[in-house]
Chain A
Amino acid sequence: QQPVQSPQAVILREGEDAVINCSSSKALYSVHWYRQKHGEAPVFLMILLKGGEQKGHEKISASFNEKKQQSSLYLTASQLSYSGTYFCGTEYPAGNKLTFGGGTRVLVKP
């Protein structure tokens, strides 16, 4: 079942922060975050394994709450280059494939 991402879209000014959430109805093994620019392939940002890990990629960090079966991606002091569509991909204990959420479109304005 597809994880649910929220919000669907967000508009930011350069330097502002944003949080993107990814929720699953089933227990998760890992959560992967990707960013996709228009017309391009998704680019890997980070992977979080169960255990409540929090990881970071430049000023983009993420957390994984195993109990709540959700992950959050934090865009801190956003830059113009952060614009794009962010997808979470969830991996369940029984399988080795990713199921992607519907995506969150982020637009960072000057």
Chain B
Amino acid sequence: GAVVSQHPSWVICKSGTSVKIECRSLDFQATTMFWYRQFPKQSLMLMATSNEGSKATYEQGVEKDKFLINHASLTLSTLTVTSAHPEDSSFYICSAGDVGRAGEQYFGPGTRLTVT
């Protein structure tokens, strides 16, 4: 089956610092990856759509200068939370779809970010 990995699985950082989260599709190529944020006991909220070789598409209300997305290759997308604040603490999850199987999205294991 399709496997998506994320690194790190959890991270604690100080307020004002930046954190980079990696999302990799291990056994398939993904031209599009998605980044979600999930607060405790809440739904998955799409932050942005990451497109290989082009700029990411951000959802309304998501600050593109704060959440930097880079989709450098068909298997790697990164999310950088810049100048993190405690309110950015959340569970960040990426997903990717196999280009050969339109529609199915495979989620990474998630990254729990805590900003102190």
Interface residues of A (CB under 8 A from B): 2, 30, 32, 34, 40-44, 47, 49, 87, 89, 91, 96-103
Contacts and interface: CB of A to CB of B under 8 A. Distances in A.
Contacts of B105: 32, 44, 89, 98
A57 B78 CA distance: 32
Contacts of B32: 96
Given A43-B107, A44-B105, A96-B49, 14 more contacts: A2-B43, A30-B103, A41-B93, A41-B110, A42-B44, A44-B107, A47-B103, A49-B103, A87-B44, A89-B105, A91-B103, A96-B32, A98-B34, A102-B43
Main SS of chain A's interface residues? strand
A87 B42 CA distance: 10
Interface residues of B, number: 17
A2 B104 CA distance: 19
B31 to A, nearest CB: 10
Given A87-B43, A97-B46, A41 B107 contact: yes
Nearest to A41: B107
Contacts of B44: 42, 87, 89, 100
B109 interface: yes
Q: Which of B32, B43, B46, B107 has the most CB of A within 10 A?
A: B43
B28 interface: no
B3 to A, nearest CB: 11
Contacts of A44: 104-107
Contact of A100 (B43, B108, B110): B43
B73 to A, nearest CB: 20
B66 to A, nearest CB: 20
